[in-house]
Amino acid sequence: MRIVRRRLILAALAIGLPAALAGCAGLPRTDPLQVTVAGIEPLQGEGLELRMTVKLRVQNPNDAPVEFDGAYLRLEVQGKTFATGVSDERGSVPRFGEAVVTVPVTVSVLNIVKQVLGAVDTKAAPPDRIRYTLEGKLNGTGFGAYRFSSAGELELPAAAAGPPPS
């Protein structure tokens, strides 16, 4: 009985797996969502944390709307996690359209201290640019999620970067 059962399972896998993979290959490809920070507003924090509301502008370059139920956001500064946040916001980004998604984030004061101490390192010159990475996802209403990321650099004013070279 066990041998027959194993053979039936193997036969089902041999037939079903290629059919499932062929079905996935037939799904339409979509371009990634474009996400940028549209605004930041302060919130009331507690103890050793700062809280902010980050407004994300989500652009959908596809021919189908994107339905989402929840969002996650992580901001790295100089390669270290600086702020994280989640939101249970639901919504839709229209086809070839855009929407603003609001995500409250938390910044630990300890993360701020780490960033300041890293910038004040006496062995290195103060940075004239700050690297950042924004990563996150919009949770799909069906299977999967719409992941996004963007990165860039902010140039510090000359006075903040230190005295000009002599």
pTM of the full predicted structure? 0.69
Q: How far apart are alpha carbons 109 and 50 in whole angstroms? A: 7
pLDDT at position 124, please?
A: 62
Domain locations in the chain as residue ranges: 30-161
Mapping DSSP to helix (H, G, I), strand (E, B) and coil, where does residue 133 land? strand
Q: How far apart are alpha carbons 59 and 97 in whole angstroms? A: 6
Amino acid at 144: G
pLDDT at position 161, please?
A: 47
- Give the number of other Cβ atoms within 10 Å of residue 65's Cβ: 14
70: Cβ contacts below 8 Å, ≥ 6 apart: 86, 87, 88, 89, 90, 138, 139
Please tell me the CATH code under which domain 30-161 is placed: 2.60.40.10
What pLDDT tens digit does each residue of the chain (166 aa) get?
A: 667 666 656 666 666 655 555 555 445 568 999 999 899 899 998 888 899 999 999 999 999 999 999 999 999 988 888 899 999 999 999 999 999 999 999 998 877 777 777 666 656 666 678 888 999 999 998 778 999 998 888 887 764 445 555 5
Interior CA angle at 11 toward 6 and 16, to 5°? 125
